[in-house]
Amino acid sequence: MAEVITMPRLSDTMTEGKVAKWHKKVGDKIKEGDILAEIETDKAVQDFESEIEGTLLFVGVEEGAAAAVDSILAIIGQEGEDISSLKGGSAPVAEGASEEKKSEEESKTENESTSVEQTSAEVPAGVEVITMPRLSDTMTEGKVAKWHKNVGDTVKEGDLLAEIETDKAVQDFESEFNGVLLKQGVEEGGAAPVDSVLAIIGPEGTDVSGVGAAKPATKSEDKPAEQKSEAKAEEKSVAQTANTSSSDRVAISPLAKKMAQDKGVDINSLQGSGENGRIVKKDIENYQPSQKTEAAPAQTHAAAQVALSFVQGEDTETPNSQVRNIIAKRLAESKFSAPHYYLMVEINMDKAIEARKEINSLPDTKISFNDMIIKATAVALRKHPQVNSSWAGDKVIHRGNINVGVAVAIPDGLVVPVLKNTDQMNYTQISAAVKDMAGRAKSKGLKANEMEGSTFSISNLGMFGIETFTSIINQPNAAILSVGAIIEKPIVKNGQIVVGNIMKLSLACDHRVVDGATGAQFLQTLKTYLESPLTLLL
């Protein structure tokens, strides 16, 4: 029997999706895990794979057109099957959405200050103008960390054109066209606003001098000679690390990737059964862990600044990266818009130390205190959902999932990769996910969606010997937990002074969402879980 495939909701803010490309056409045989289409959301373009087998009988949305979430995207069934009763007006929906999209695009063309359409009369036939893509929901400009193609090079669809540094990460940008690279609109190391000209591709020898140019946000020519050298060295370093991370990219479907994260599966150890070795849903379902030497634990915080050399009497400057600019903006907005207050508590970690020793004595198991804190925090959030909420102007949003963001220091500042559904993960899964994301964060290999959707955040400086500190809330979270070092100190136990292992926690709360008593009750629950780890099993 035929099944209707609807337009999926691929992000929490998505209301409609645009079919960037169909990978299958009507009449093609479909297998589970095959890529049906590429769906463009409000945040990114994502592959959409089939979860059923059969023949593609109907396409509800044309390539390049948009449709509302839950409208008919496609119908899959047996060859020759009558599906007239299933179409249910899907074509008009797609057409209406397409017309609406066209209207929006026309309006956008009239109002945008930097628009490629404004120069459409000057674009020769067969030439494609590629604009700076919006690779995250908060991105306003992008920096070209590295060009993989030079002017004059032949470019094929799918070829890697450049690596784009956004406000969150460095991402590969692939060509959707065939031709010759006729122009680079942004120099390597330069930045330009979203939707400005990034590159021009077309037939060899075509004159594109009249096509509008990008508007770089920063130019190295404006810097003194010694600053140019510094900037060039830094950009080279960024490009090299980004290149290293991109070479390790694993072909995996979004659904399979989420399942792997939830189950703590190392995708680098899998051999995909999908198209071109792509990892699909059934590969995760059939995964059997192998005996493998565990990598050395990755610290969630490292040296926060790029190493600088000191020269007596000489001032130097380092140009801000996109990451550091957005960190400065976000932290200032959070500090000055959210009324912060702080609660602090001391935790006796004696039993947690014993529990960790027992857990790590098991084969192929090695967890850190940070992993234990993340798990205890996630379970405590279940009992105190008000702390797992967000301020939204005229309302408070109580989040349905517990997604813990873990602060990771990188040379450019700080990023917060997110463990989705943390309360459903065990210690091993948390440990594997933190090590993986912390490692990729330092090489700028994280994807934008891996740093979105946090409902609570944790920052740990204990490995540096910091006993106590306070953090700025990671908006739109309502709270952030700061974790200090475990210190041996005298404590009173059963009327006797003994040596105990004490750790201090500091909870920063947004008073608009979390009242003092609510924050205190949350810390009491967290204290109970850490001082008596067996209570996590209840």
Look at phi and psi of residue 449 and say left if phi exceeds 0, alpha if psi is from -120 to 50, else beta.
Answer: alpha
Provide the CB-side half-sphere exposure for 403 (13 A, CA).
Answer: 22
Query: Taking all residues of the chain, what is their mean pLDDT, rounded to a whole number?
Result: 79
Look at phi and psi of residue 418 and say left if phi exceeds 0, alpha if psi is from -120 to 50, else beta.
Answer: beta
pLDDT at position 205? 84
Please give the chain's pLDDT, 538 residues, in tens.
788 899 888 766 678 888 989 999 999 999 888 888 988 876 567 888 888 889 999 999 999 888 888 889 999 998 888 888 887 643 333 344 444 444 444 444 444 444 444 444 467 878 888 988 877 666 788 889 889 999 999 998 878 888 888 766 677 788 888 899 988 889 998 888 988 889 999 888 888 877 764 444 443 344 444 444 444 444 444 344 334 333 345 677 766 776 776 666 777 777 777 666 778 777 777 776 543 333 333 444 434 455 567 788 888 887 877 667 777 888 888 888 899 999 999 999 999 999 999 999 998 889 999 999 999 999 999 999 999 999 998 899 999 999 999 999 887 778 899 999 999 999 999 999 999 998 888 877 777 788 889 999 999 999 999 999 999 999 999 999 999 999 999 999 889 999 999 999 999 999 999 999 999 999 999 999 999 998 887 6
Q: Which of 153, 248, 364, 515 is catalytic?
A: 515
In 3D space, the residue among 233, 277, 248, 245 whose CA is nearest the CA of residue 171 turns out to be 245
pLDDT at position 413? 77
Whole-angstrom distance, CA of residue 470 vs CA of residue 523: 15
Question: Do 365 and 523 touch, CB atoms closer than 8 A?
Answer: no
* Residue 240, CA distances (Å) to 147, 199, 243, 322 in order: 12, 22, 5, 17
pLDDT at position 254? 62
In 3D space, the residue among 281, 279, 256 whose CA is nearest the CA of residue 269 turns out to be 279
Handedness of CA 518, 423, 47, 184 (dihedral sign): positive
Number of Cβ within 10 Å of residue 508's Cβ equals 25
Please name the residues in contact with 60: beta carbons below 8 A apart, sequence gap of 6 or more: 67, 71, 72, 73, 74, 75, 87, 90, 91, 93, 94
Please name the residues in contact with 343: beta carbons below 8 A apart, sequence gap of 6 or more: 506, 507, 509, 516, 519, 520, 523
Beta bridge partners of 490: 499
Which residue do the tokens 């957005």 mark? 326
Question: Do 491 and 311 touch, CB atoms closer than 8 A?
Answer: no
Strand order across the beta sheet in which 496-510 lies: 340-348, 496-510, 479-493, 456-460, 404-406, 418-419
- Whether 340 is catalytic is no
For helices 516-531 and 369-383, give the axis angle rounded to 10 degrees.
Answer: 130
Does an H or E element contain 195, and which? none
Whole-angstrom distance, CA of residue 399 vs CA of residue 360: 33
Question: Do 193 and 114 touch, CB atoms closer than 8 A?
Answer: yes
Instruction: Sort strands 72-77 and 66-68 into parallel, antiparallel or unpaired.
Output: unpaired
Residue 299 is classified by DSSP as P
pLDDT at position 538? 66
Beta bridge partners of 497: 492
Strands (E), 78-166: 128-131, 141-147, 154-155, 160-165
Residues 443-466 have pLDDT tens digits of 777 777 888 899 999 999 999 999
pLDDT at position 299? 44
pLDDT at position 429? 94
Residues in the chain: 538
The identity of residue 288, as a single letter, is Q
Which residue do the tokens 């091993």 mark? 428
Whole-angstrom distance, CA of residue 21 vs CA of residue 28: 15
pTM over 0.85: no
- Of the chain, the end-to-end C-alpha distance in Å amounts to 45
Structure tokens at 108: 């956008």
Whole-angstrom distance, CA of residue 276 vs CA of residue 271: 11
DSSP assignment of 316-373: ---PPPHHHHHHHHHHHHHHHHS-EEEEEEEEE-HHHHHHHHHHHTSTT----HHHHH
Whole-angstrom distance, CA of residue 323 vs CA of residue 503: 31
Whole-angstrom distance, CA of residue 530 vs CA of residue 375: 10
The per-residue b/e assignment along 184-208, b for 16 or more CB within 10 angstroms, e otherwise, is bbbebbbbbbbbbbbbbbbeeebeb
Q: Which of 42, 262, 340, 511 is catalytic?
A: 511
Number of Cβ within 10 Å of residue 435's Cβ equals 21
State whether residue 127 is helix, strand or coil: coil
pLDDT at position 136? 67
The identity of residue 52, as a single letter, is I
- Whether 207 is catalytic is no
pLDDT at position 326? 74
